[in-house]
Each structure stands twice: as C-alpha cells, then as structure tokens.
Structure 1
C-alpha cells in the first residue's frame, strides 16, 4: 500500500496523471490502476473524475494530508533502522561563509538529500579563518570558502565559481544612485562585516589591506543583523554575486565595487581533505558547482 500511496500523492502534487506517471517511472494506465486499487482497499473514493480532469473528494483531501505525514514518518523509521544496523547515522558536515546569501547551497542540499536520504547533512557557518580551522581540525568534511591563501596540496581545491563584489546600501543613501563605486569613494562611510568577536581583527585586516576599504568597520553576528544595519543606513556591506543581482527591492540597492576601473572579483572553492571520499563528498561538490553554473547561465539569458 505504501507504493500506492506514493502514486496517489504524486498525482495530487502534479495535478496530472501523465506527469505523475513520468515522475514515478510507470505508465499512465498503471498509475491509474494503482490508485483505483488503493480506493478499493480503503473502500472510499479519493478522486472525483470528470473526463480528463479530477478533484479530491472530502475523504481524498483528508487522506492526502494525513498520508504526507505518514510517508514522512515511514521514511524516518526506515532511516533510523538503517542507522541502528550500521552503528550510527552517516553524516556529511558542510560549512559555509557567514556572509553567503545565495540559493545554490540550499538547492544542492535539497537534491543531494533526495538522492541520498540515508546521509544526514550537518550545517555550520563561519568566517574564512574559522572555516579553515573547521577543516584542519576535522570538524567539517567540506567547506565552501573564498580563496585568501595559496592552495594547499593537502586538500582538494575544487573551484566553484568566480563572484563579483557589490556594496549593499540603503536606497535612501545618495551612493545608491551611482552606477558603480570605488573603495576610495566609500572612505567616509562605515563598512559592515559579519564576524564572530574572535575573528573581527582578521576580517578587518583582509578587507582593509586586500579589498582596499579605508573606512571604519562595524560588525554584525549574522547576515540578518547586517542587513538591518544597512537598511538603517548605518553603513554599507560588501556582498558577492555570481549572477547580476535583481534591483527590485525598496530598501537596498546593489552597487558594483570597482578597482582600477574594473569590478572586483573573488574566487570561491569547495575544500576537503585529499583521500576523504566518504559520504559522496565529491558528488556533493559537483552538484553545488552545477547550481552555480545554472545561476550564471540564467543571468546571461536575461
């Protein structure tokens, strides 16, 4: 009956027998027969059929809602059973930068967990140096980090993307009207950085000596806090995007940051220890790179 319930859920989700059948890798007639068999077993009509359309009966609506929770519980029971048999849950520990705000990681995790439901994902974030320490100390399996130091042969250095640097600034600030801005033009405005207290000195040194900001620095603990500071016009925040950001917000604008008449670029990598091939690390990295490429391709098509 579990398989029949999955077929029923697919038909309701896609609102179409043909698409549901394709998703379940069976024929349209077969999925229709399976749902009819489910209705016979239950002794109730779940779907009210009208020519090529259908709607849920009241019993069907109730069964659909409850079956979603049932299947979720069933999958968790299966995963826990496997975990007990193998002496513990397989886990992929992923760490990323505190200031990362893209959707690529979220999409990659969704696809990865759908394919490998028995592997749990543990997520942490941190500054550049904290991520390096997580990897060095064995606290993370894979980190998504910017390149600030020479690449090491001790790690797989898997390039994900090249991003472009912008400044996020309140729309009511006059600088938001500029087509681009330089670090020198920002010298009288505080730079907002996201960092733990222990890493503030490192982050300030990097952004002053490498990026070239000469303004004062103020710090936030999280991306949400930093963006509230921006909206409050307390300063600007450097942000990076692979694709050109949409300028449809009413509170902030994204202004390209230039140096020597060119927009500043930064490389991002996935790093993991050489020889560590557990829990499909390389496959996860390839999936993440694919999401960055898709985002970049989508931007070029616009």
Structure 2
C-alpha cells in the first residue's frame, strides 16, 4: 500500500481532532468571567444583563470573548439575530453551574469550621401566603434575624415547581410552599394546612345560585382556570379535556376570577381579602386542603443557616397552630 493511499492519509483537521485538549486549570480570573457568562445566559442576552452587571455592552462582549478564547469554545451566538447558546455553550453552562455551586458549598462549609454562619441564605416562597394566619414565615424571619444577625437574607417568590428546581439547582437553600409533585433528593418537613375553595365573582351567573342547584355538570358549562403547576388536578376534578385559562400563581388566578368570566381555586385566607366580591362554590364538593411544607436538600442539617431557618419555621408554625 503506497503512502498516497487515501485509506492511510490523515487530513490536518483529523489530526487536530485526534489531539485531546489538555485540562485548563480554573483560576480566579476565570471565575469572574464564568459568573458574567452565567448572568448573561440567565438574563437572556448581553443587553438584558447590562443593568445587573453594571457593565457596558462592549465590555460584556469582550469578557464573553475572553472566556471563549480561554477555553477554546464558541459558547454563544450574539448579534442582531439575537442571543442563543451553542451546543458547547449549553454544556459549559451546566458545568459552570455545578462549579459555582460547589464553590458556594465550600464557602458555607469552611464558614462552619469556625462556627460562623455563612454570609447569605436564599429562601424561596410561593405567593400570597402572607395573609394566611398560620403562615410561619414572618415569625421565623424574626427568630432567624435575632439568631443570625449578620446573615444576608435573599427572598424569591416563585411557583411550586420552580421553587423545587431552584432548591435542586442550589439557587435557593430552602423553599416554603405546597408542592404537588415531590422531587427526589429533597427532604420535606410539614408546617401547616391551607384551605382552598372554588370561587366565582359577584358578577358571575353562579354567584346568586343556591349551592344545591350547582353540580359538577353545571360547573363544566363555565370557564375553568388551571394552575400550571397543578393543572392535572384541576382537569381531573372537573373531568374536562383542557382548562380555559392557565396561571402560575394565586394573584393571577384572583384577577381572572374577579373578572366574572372564570371559576378557579383560591386559598380561603386570600379570598377573604375581597369581601362581598367572591363566593365559595359547593365547599362540600370542591374544597381541599393544601399541605404546606419546607423543602430542602437532604444535607440541610449540616448547613448552619439553613438548619437555623428551618428550625425557626418549625417553631413558629407550632406556636401559630397552638393559638
């Protein structure tokens, strides 16, 4: 076989691919560039990340280019056509999340070595729970602020599904809510119960109809709201093929119900904020109890601030239920 046989030739491109790129050590300058990259991705583009990063657009672009050059990867497409990640960029983003999550864990663990609280604690909540007389969050915050005055609290309000993803992704340390689906790898600790009912507005045609005249068949004749995180339950209860509107939080649901055009579920404590405007329909048929819990990663007891806040929640919840 001759040297020019096509079966034995190696093209320059193939030769380059055959060489594995050596591991590049992560340095402090890289961490800063990676953090900027994550902010850009989570904001949805360079322009959208400007205010959060407090950097000029050209400076952000230069730093992304420097990160690409550092690791020899094309991470994203940016320009007039918009912002999008390349396949390599998507993989890099996931690894960057793991890296920074590990660094945060390291910082918290090292802080624990000297019996000091970490610098910050991120807590996730579902919306509208402030009007619930059994909600322990405010009391727990007071207890935690007294026990850990130097810890910076970060509070995020999201839907139940989003909260669980944030806990798993280590974006928040713990979450308080009623969770329709249990995600694996988390602990769930009971707090209290929240009563929900199906509501209509005073302008809805069912408002003045006596309960005995309202059945599931008559409910199906009207527009029904489903919650994006609990849609299957709402559809199953009323045996309908699809909802007429979908919401991601209780305030959005209240807007639709108060329009008089829709029926939907609300917590009783939140519906009480609209006296004379809302009516619970057939509580004997359609009411249910939402179990409120605190969700945290299974190592929560080894994380000082998380453990302190959860213990404050449990103590406050016990006090409120005992009243």
TM-score of the aligned structures, taking structure 2 as reference length:
0.50
Matched residue, 2:24:
none
Aligned to 2:222: 189
Residue in structure 2 matching 1:267, options 277, 286, 291:
291
Task: State how far apart, in whole Å, the 1-side matches of 2:144 and 2:305 are.
Answer: 9
Find the counterpart in structure 2 of residue 134 from structure 1.
Answer: 166
Aligned-pair CA distance for 1:171? 2.6
Correspondent of 2:206 among 134, 159, 175: 175
Where does residue 94 of structure 2 map in the other structure? none
The secondary structure found in structure 1 opposite 2:222 is: coil
Q: Distance in 2 between matches of 1:213 and 1:91?
A: 46
State the Cα deviation string for residues 17-57 of structure 1 (Å, max 9, x = none).
xxxxxxxxxxxxxxxxxxxxxxxxxxxxxxxxxxxxxxxxx
Relative to structure 1, the CA distance from residue 240 to residue 106 in structure 2 (aligned partners, 3 Å threshold; closer, same or farther) is same
1: CA distance, partners of 2:304 / 2:282: 39
> Aligned in 2, Cα 1:175/1:205: closer, same or farther, shift over 3 Å?
same
Structure 1 residues 290 and 220: CA distance shift in structure 2, 3 A: same
The residue that corresponds to 2:14 in the other structure is none
Q: How does 1:1-302 map to 2 (within 5 A)?
A: 90-98=119-127, 100=129, 102-103=131-132, 104=135, 105-149=137-181, 152=184, 154-177=185-208, 178=210, 184-193=217-226, 200=228, 203-209=230-236, 211-212=237-238, 214=240, 216-220=243-247, 223-241=250-268, 246=272, 249-255=275-281, 257-259=283-285, 263-277=287-301, 278-298=303-323
Deviation of residue 233 (structure 1)?
A: 0.9
Alpha-carbon distance change, 170 to 93 in structure 1, aligned in 2, over 3 angstroms = same
Query: What secondary structure, in the 3-state scheme, does the structure 2 residue paired with 1:175 have?
Result: coil
Alignment check: 8 A CA contact 2:125 2:175 kept: yes
Q: Which runs of 5+ in 2 are unaligned?
A: 1-116
Structure with more of its chain in strand, by fraction: 1
CA distance in 1, matches of 2:128, 2:239: 17
> Displacement of 1:256 after TM fit?
5.8
Deviation readout 1:229-248 (Å, 9 max, x if unpaired) = 2222121231235x797587
Deviation at 1:212, TM superposition (A): 4.1
Residue of structure 2 equivalent to 1:71? none
Does the CA-based 8 Å contact 1:113-1:120 persist in structure 2?
no
- Choose 1 or 2 for highest CA Rg: 2
Q: Residue 284 of structure 1: SS of its match in structure 2?
A: helix
Distance in 2 between residues matched to 1:223 and 1:250, nearest whole Å: 19
Shift of residue 100, structure 1, vs aligned partner: 4.0
Deviation at 1:158, TM superposition (A): 0.3
Q: CA RMSD in A?
A: 3.7
1:218 CA displacement: 1.4
3-state SS of 2:231 partner: helix
The answer (yes or no) to whether the contact 2:226–2:235 under 8 Å persists in 1 is: no
5+ long unaligned stretches in structure 1: 1-87, 195-199
Whether the aligned pair in 2 keeps the contact of 1:119 and 1:279 (CA below 8 Å) is no
The whole-number CA distance in structure 2 between the counterparts of 1:95 and 1:230 is 26
Give the distance between the partners of 2:218 and 2:307, measured in 1 at CA: 42
CA contact (8 A) 1:204 1:217 kept: no
CA distance in 2, matches of 1:240, 1:92: 28
| TM-score of the pair, normalised by structure 1 | 0.53
